[in-house]
DNA sequence: TTTGAATGTTACAGACCGGTCACAGCCTGT
DNA sequence: ACAGGCTGTGACCGGTCTGTAACATTCAAA
């Protein structure tokens, strides 16, 4: 009963966020109600509303948490290959979509951006901030690795990974998304050769 | 009153599909009810249900219609640059995301794939079919243009455009999505040079 | 003119939703 | 032992949703 133990030990707020992220991912933001989330988290609707003022705020909190997790992953790559941006880049390419094999539901943040239609939704700024940070870290690695067109390469890789996670949801494992690693490596190689010739 | 005239002349089924596509695009699939669609189409819920057995079937019909429109666009490029795949490719790159400037809601089909969580939803096969056809036509152009790595280039461009339309919804005009044309052209150029050197 | 199919209208069923209230319990720090 | 904050419980409100039933209307073809 280690799971139930952990459930009862962690404060309700954390359990609710974790459970909400699971259910949102599985059924979509509009596909699951706050009551179901609270119950699945071993709590109830009232405490949910005492921690998060509304469902929309809960969604924003979940995406903030997702952004924190992503940043942690970047930090781990930083620590794994210190001062070796080229290996960091290859590691990123390898990991960026690999998770999709088990759970083909793509990126929670991108999915939320698509599912949320209100322009003033509290989650919108979280989405923009996390995604911008992602591109910025990618651009920094490309610059550190010495690519002359580092910014353009960062844009290319950003679009590729974003597209791969969508492609996985549209056509599944037969689609272009499953060739993301080959494509990304080819693009990186092409940009590297371009740089060499320019020098 | 040509618009109202057209509304009353066209059969209800077509009006409903057209209206549904607009509203689905604006508010999401789950963000608008069948009653609102029927009323906005100048019809009513009952006739809607007589033409489409369920809301899910209506969604599938809307995506089928979207797929037909996309195919028509490809045919126009074919007719505009007959036997000139390189220009067809450039035209595709220019048009693929340009529409996003006015309406940043991305691709209806990809959005639907993300919003639909049921694996057996009637729209799923439509989504997969349309997206596969898109990649196939792109691959054919790349092959006709003589790219040695035509399949890989088609995958790259597919992922890029898919990612661009998502990026537009996450970070807006400041994001990588607005650099799609530059990125895609750079990737095409890199693949072309690769081919030359390989020859 | 009559017939019949397509369409419109109204009402309803049953379920779910987000959000709030009043009240009861628990558990910790003092 | 006691006080106070956090948590749990169940009921409730008003609204919306998909889908159906029964009935009225229009309109074109025969």
pLDDT tens digit sequence for A77-129: 999 999 999 999 999 999 988 777 778 899 999 999 999 999 999 999 999 99
Given this model, what pLDDT does residue B7 score?
A: 60
Q: How far is the CA of A26 from the C1' of C19 (A)?
A: 24
Band (A195; pLDDT cuts 50, 70, 90): low
What is the pLDDT confidence band of residue B199, given thresholds at 50, 70 and 90? Answer: very low
- Which residues of B are less than 8 Å from A109 in CB distance? 170
Residue B54, CB, strand D, below 7 Å: yes
The confidence band for B98, taking pLDDT boundaries of 50, 70 and 90, is confident
Give pLDDT, residue A3. Answer: 46
Tokens of A56: 């929309």
Share of chain B above pLDDT 70, in %: 93
pLDDT of residue B197: 52
Give pLDDT tens digits for B142-167: 999 999 999 999 999 999 999 999 99
User: To which residue do tokens 């409903």 refer?
Assistant: B16
Q: Do A187 and B182 touch (CB under 8 A)?
A: no
> Do the Cβ atoms of A175 and B111 come within 8 Å?
no
Report if CB B55 to strand C is under 7 Å. no
pTM above threshold 0.85? yes
Residue B2 has pLDDT above 90, yes or no: no
Across the interface, which of B128, B160, B177 has its CB nearest the CB of A172?
A: B128
* DSSP codes, chain B: -HHHHHHHHS-HHHHHHHHHHHHHHHH-STTS-HHHHHHHTTS-HHHHHHHSSSHHHHHHHHHHHHHHHHHHHHHHHHHHSTT-HHHHHHHHHHHHTGGGGT-----HHHHHHHH---TT-THHHHHHHHHHHHHHHHHHHHHHTT-TTHHHHHHHHHHHHHHHHHHHHHTGGGSGGGGHHHHHHHHHHHHHHHHHHH-
Q: What pLDDT digit, counting tens, does each position of B12-51 carry?
A: 999 999 999 999 999 999 999 999 999 999 999 999 999 9
Q: Find and list the nucleotides of strand C having atoms within 7 Å of a protein beta carbon.
A: 6-11, 16-22
- Interatomic distance B52 CA / C4 C1' (Å): 22
Rounded Cα distance, A176 and A179, in Å: 5
CB contact under 8 A, A128 and B170: yes
Q: How far is CA A102 from CA A14, A37, B147, in A?
A: 24, 23, 34
Q: What pLDDT is attached to residue B195? A: 65
Verify if strand C has an atom below 7 Å from the CB of B11: yes
Name which of A15-29, A40-54, B63-77, B89-103 the model is least confident about: B89-103
In chain A, pLDDT over 70 holds for what percent of residues? 93
pLDDT of residue B101: 75
Note whether B170 contacts A110, CB cutoff 8 Å: yes
Residues (33-92, chain A) with CB within 7 Å of strand C atoms: 33-36, 45-46, 49, 53-56
Give the count of alpha carbons within 13 A of A6, CB side only: 7
């Amino acid at each position: 009963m280690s799971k139930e133990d952990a459930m009862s030990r962690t404060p309700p707020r954390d359990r609710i966020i974790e459970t909400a992220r699971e259910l949102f991912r599985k059924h979509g933001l509009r596909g699951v109600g706050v009551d179901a989330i609270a119950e699945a988290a071993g709590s109830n609707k009232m405490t949910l509303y005492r921690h998060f003022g509304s469902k929309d705020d809960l969604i924003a909190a979940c995406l903030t948490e997702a952004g924190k997790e992503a940043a942690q992953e970047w930090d781990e790559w930083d620590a794994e290959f210190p001062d070796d941006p080229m290996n960091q880049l290859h590691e990123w390419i390898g990991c960026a979509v690999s998770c999709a094999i088990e759970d083909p539901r793509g990126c929670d943040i991108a999915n939320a951006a698509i599912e949320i239609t209100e322009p003033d939704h509290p989650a919108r700024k979280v989405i923009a901030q996390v995604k911008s940070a992602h591109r910025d870290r990618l651009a920094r690695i490309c610059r550190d690795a010495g690519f002359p067109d580092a910014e353009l390469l960062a844009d290319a890789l950003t679009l590729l990974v974003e597209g791969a996670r969508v492609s996985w949801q549209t056509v599944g494992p037969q689609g272009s998304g499953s060739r993301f690693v080959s494509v990304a490596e080819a693009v990186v190689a092409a940009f590297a050769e371009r740089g060499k010739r320019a020098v």
